[in-house]
Amino acid sequence: MNSHNEAIAETAAEVPPAAPSSPFKIFHRVVDWITSDRLQLINITDRINDIVRKSGIRDGIVHLQSLHTTTAVFLNEWQDALLADVRAILEELVRREGNWRHNDPQYSDCERQNADSHLRGMLLGQALCLQVRNSAVLLGTWQSIILAEFDGPRSRTMSVQVSGI
C-alpha cells in the first residue's frame, strides 16, 4: 500500500494576503426553490455566484445551509450520465423500501414514508462551506454546487452567508 506522503512532490504558490485594513463584512440571502420530483438534483452554482458577486466581498467564505433534513448540498461534476449514477448509488446505499421504523405507524407519526430521504441527507450533509476568491466562489474546473432534493416535490429554502473582506 502506497499511503505515505514521502514520495509526494509539493509546490506552493504564494498569494499576497488581502490588505489587513479592510473591514470584515457579512452578507446574507435566503433562496427558495420549488422542486418537482422526489429525488431531484439542482445545479445552484450560478445562483450562489450571483449572491457572492452582490455581496461585495472579495475574499472570504460562503456558507450554504439547506434548512431541511431531507435535502443535501455537495460538489460534483454536472454531467447527465454521472447524475444518473449519483441517484443510483444513493438508492443502493439507502433503499427506499427498507424496514425503517420512521415509516412504521407503530413507532412513528410521520406519514411521509421518508426515512430514506432523512438517511440520504445525513450521508451527504446539509451544510457546505466554500472559499470566496476574487469575488467568486472558488471551484475547480469540474466542480458544480448541487442541491439534492430527497423528498420532493416541496418548497425548499437555503440560507447563504458570505463573510470576509
For a copy of itself, the closer of residues 52 and 66 by Cβ is 66
For a copy of itself, the closer of residues 25 and 135 by Cβ is 25
Residues in CB range of 136: below 8 A, 6 or more apart? 49, 52, 53
Nearest approach in angstroms of CB 52 to a copy of itself is 13
Nearest approach in angstroms of CB 147 to a copy of itself is 9
For a copy of itself, the closer of residues 5 and 97 by Cβ is 5
Signed CA dihedral, 115, 117, 119, 125: sign only: negative
Only one residue has cell 440560507, namely 159
| 22 neighbors 57 (Cβ within 8 angstroms) | no
C-alpha span between 32 and 155 (Å, rounded): 7
DSSP tag of 151? S
| 136 neighbors 49 (Cβ within 8 angstroms) | yes
Dihedral (Cα; 136, 134, 82, 70), 10-degree rounding: -40
Nearest approach in angstroms of CB 96 to a copy of itself is 12
Dihedral (Cα; 80, 124, 162, 12), 10-degree rounding: -80
For a copy of itself, the closer of residues 135 and 157 by Cβ is 157
Nearest approach in angstroms of CB 136 to a copy of itself is 12
Nearest approach in angstroms of CB 49 to a copy of itself is 14
For a copy of itself, the closer of residues 52 and 55 by Cβ is 55
